[in-house]
Amino acid sequence: MPAAIAIAAHPDDIEFRMAGTLLLLREAGWEIHCLNLSAGNCGSARSGPAETARRRRAEAKEAATILGAHWHPPFCRDLEIFYDLRTLRRLAAVIREVRPSLVLTHPPVDYMEDHTATCRLAVTAAFTHGMPNFRSTPVRPVNDVEVTLYHCTPHGLVDPLRRPVAPAAFVDTTSVHATKLAALAAHKSQQDWLDVSQGMNSYIKAADDESLAVGRMSEKFRHAEGWWRHSHMGFCAEEADPLREALGGRFFAGESSSPRR
């Protein structure tokens, strides 16, 4: 059975903009995995970091259960996701255990550094999956599974300078949208936090609005998630496009393979 893993910074990042694609992959017979690098310990204005992390861990596990995904525990803390050797070795171990042929992660540039650092770590960890001279922590055997990476849309569908971006490919998530929102709703603690920190009055409505916006960009689907395919060099064959192959008519690629301004 082929495997796919979503690697994101914080609990709820996957549910916001990757979960629909994961659900469709599961329907297509894939084994799916979820990993948030951070425990989400800063995601509250009311409780301390330990209690916040405990609650968010439980919420993330519940969301993964709703998605039918294997959940992997975090090993970083909010605002402490750095592109360093310790974190890279730990993430490389997860990649080698899962043996994914498909990795979903953040875009190379996003509104906050946790997202950007997570993307860099995911790309390098995937690159090292077949390198026996790079030691993972814990040590895990390397493998020769070709891996293709896809980057999701940035927060708010804009780059850090507020310039709108449009993805190069779209996945029709209409049929699984309700389940995606149910998984997002498992992150109950974030209603208050996102309202306080980002003025996001309803995080469920925000996710709904964004998927509708991506659907409109596609000019084809009602609800959609957007993607860019990472360069194949060092990862897989140039023509490798497992999302297209797995999802068929639910996948649509535009004219460009890079963000459009």
- The answer to whether residue 204 sits within a structural domain is yes
Six token digits for residue 196: 């306080």
Rounded mean pLDDT, 172-192 = 92
pLDDT value for 256: 46
pLDDT tens for each residue of 106-140: 999 999 999 999 999 999 999 999 999 999 999 99
Is the confidence at residue 188, as pLDDT, over 50? Answer: yes
pLDDT value for 201: 52
Rounded mean pLDDT, 181-200 = 75
- The answer to whether residue 261 sits within a structural domain is no
The strand pair at 251-253 and 169-172 is best described as antiparallel
Residue identified by tokens 């497992």 is 242
- The answer to whether residue 258 sits within a structural domain is no
- The answer to whether residue 223 sits within a structural domain is yes
- The answer to whether residue 206 sits within a structural domain is yes
Contact in structure between 156 and 208 (CB atoms under 8 Å): no
- The answer to whether residue 260 sits within a structural domain is no
- As a whole number of angstroms, the distance between CA 8 and CA 139 comes to 22
Q: Give the three-state DSSP class for 52.
A: helix
Question: Residue 47 belongs to what domain range?
Answer: 3-253
Residue identified by tokens 């990476």 is 149
pLDDT value for 200: 53
We report the CATH number of the domain holding residue 176 as 3.40.50.10320
pLDDT value for 44: 82
pTM of the model: 0.94
Residues of the chain above pLDDT 70, percent: 93
Q: Is omega for the bond preceding 138 within 30 degrees of 0, making it cis?
A: yes
- The answer to whether residue 259 sits within a structural domain is no
Chain mean pLDDT for the chain? 93
The total of structural domains in the chain comes to 1
- The answer to whether residue 193 sits within a structural domain is yes
Q: How far is CA 185 from CA 22, 178, 227, in A?
A: 17, 10, 23
